[in-house]
Chains A and B, each alone.
Chain A
């Protein structure tokens, strides 16, 4: 972003990478896949790189409002400084925070989740899917992320993206508004679960496996981690893969 600003350019959209997208070894592949799609399609975009900080979502959900606002206000200063108008992110937590919670602190942007962005690109014909790709005809199930679904009522965009791959989309028993959390929201990602009978991601993974799907599609870095761990726990990592939507599209595009 700094480079573009120095040249006096302003990108069409800012890609908010998020902490998982920047640092998580597995999830970096999703960031790279999404960027490759954007490059291939020729979308003018920028990232903040080292100027990006955590949105503050986990701090806020864990109760630390001060820390959240410190992060948020600093981010808003950077975003407003670059006169950012439109933000796309692959992380539903970043999406929810920037879209719904930054306005109260002076950050007003059009924010969309990458599932919505990908759906637009597909609808506009900008993403040319080969069909007959790796996923053709396969059974895929989609795990709704709480911060995309219930929190923001985005249920169809990710499904439209998956259907565009010419796959058989199978639904879990608890889906859409009734979707079961992966167990990572509300800052649970950053601590051990409280004592109980079972881990939430195992419960959800069992439900996903029960559909007979060959792959589990997600649209959230935390869900990706939780479902991947769940599949490993069930020793099914060899025949059931967990993918982010962007990875599936990029694979189909052969990039």
Chain B
């Protein structure tokens, strides 16, 4: 018996694990470029949110058809990966269908379930390709989707289709060989879905069939490992990050903007209010608001890497719907792309954040920021609880407080508020004038 296949398998596995570990470190470091923010309170509520939103896909089901198709792929992914455990054991030990004799008829039932799911995944991927490329669902046609994002989306679907075909081909040829009495192959009884494609292979010689079966096996396992690596370069990262991302969800009311304690201290000092300033002020105040990714919270960057560019946010955004430049999805993609750019530069010993570029200006324009109505439709729409609004508002703070770059009409509103404590120019003494008519009516009564 030759050990060559086992050695080859171990090498492939080791390379995949090595690359994956490197990618995970890269992503973790990029996320940690963001500012520290405690999001560990209320663990019970967090587990519950994760179970409902990520595991249970609760928010996906606001749109039933894509949710159902997505559910098939999701369940397929999770369940079929159980079989990958056997693949890995077989690969290392040089066995074939290691678990079949141990599990007996349960094994056959399990393979039938995997095959059903493989067909379901195949079906969903085909429909998704159709929606993206033939019926052209509008949210996949927005400007930020041009080029790589569209290719990425299609590649993922095509790769999944090919992987599912590999499983079915492997099972079909495996069982023909078993039925021909080849000693390496174990007859499993009826495998419903793969038996449907058996006629394609029945005319082949035993030697060819062994080749096809082995090729499908290697292709599937190497394909899965390669896909796992690909995922870390892709928007498809949501399959892992959706879980931590929902765990670290914002649990406060959506309308609440985060306070800036460093401003509170200054305001209190200005107004002569005693404050325990020294207690909770950071030694050095950085920028006010966010100009680049390191001004954002690490949660914002985690959000960005968790985004799978489905565009539900953008399709609900009132600004985007009415033709403004703002697209919440683009905000998330920009944050991710900037984090990638900085990360790569750091790894290459480059300037990182000091490369003369920034999130504001080079990626996101003021026009986009200024179009937001802070309506929270994007936050509500996101199936994995991403919060584009938080990023927009932090960037507006930078524009207003560091650049004084807000639109003229907002500056006028600021002035009114400073001088007459109202966004409109009215005398504060007239605040109670509305009551005059009520009083008159009451007197006349």
Contact = CB atoms under 8 A, between A and B. Distances in A.
B413 A70 contact: no
A177 B63 CA distance: 13
A7 B126 CA distance: 76
Interface in B410-427: 410, 412-414, 417-418, 421-424, 426
A22 B263 CA distance: 29
A60 B257 contact: yes
Given A100-B256, A194-B370, A196-B323, A187 B413 contact: yes
Contacts of B376: 146, 150-151
Interface in B245-262: 252-257, 259-260
Nearest to A146: B375
B397 A63 contact: yes
Interface string B390-402: 0001001111110
Interface stretch (A51-59, A114-122, A156-164, A233-241): A51-59
Contacts of B432: 22, 47, 49-50
Contacts of A77: 271, 273
Interface string A177-199: 11011011111111111111111
Given A47-B432, A150-B376, A181-B377, A63 B406 contact: yes
A203 interface: yes
A99 to B, nearest CB: 8
Interface stretch (B1-9, B201-209, B435-443): B435-443
- Chain B contact residues: over half helix, strand or loop, or mixed? helix
A23 B375 contact: no
B438 A36 contact: yes
B430 interface: yes
Nearest to A19: B422
Contacts of B418: 67, 70
A104 interface: yes
Contact of B374 (A19, A23, A99, A146): A146
B373 A185 contact: yes
A21 interface: yes
Contacts of B367: 194-195
Given A23-B426, A32-B437, A203-B322, A59 B260 contact: no
A67 B375 contact: no
A22 B422 contact: yes
Given A199-B322, A200-B319, A35 B401 contact: no
B318 A23 contact: no
B325 interface: yes
Contact of A150 (B380, B406, B433): B380
Contacts of B295: none
A163 B407 CA distance: 42
A58 B253 contact: no
B431 interface: yes
A229 interface: no
B42 interface: no
Contacts of A191: 370, 407, 409-410, 413
Interface string A33-54: 0011001000000010110111
Interface string B228-259: 00000000000000000000000011111101
A63 B393 contact: yes
B321 interface: yes
B52 interface: no
Nearest to B366: A194
A65 B422 contact: no
B429 A64 contact: no
B97 to A, nearest CB: 49
9 contacts: A39-B442, A58-B413, A67-B418, A96-B253, A152-B255, A185-B375, A193-B324, A194-B371, A196-B371
What are the 8 closest A-B residue pairs judged by CB atoms, nearest first? A151-B255, A63-B400, A197-B323, A186-B374, A63-B396, A53-B421, A181-B375, A196-B323
Interface of B: 62, 252-257, 259-260, 263-264, 266-268, 270-271, 273, 288-289, 316, 318-319, 321-326, 367, 370-377, 379-380, 393, 396-401, 406-407, 409-410, 412-414, 417-418, 421-424, 426, 428-435, 437-438, 442
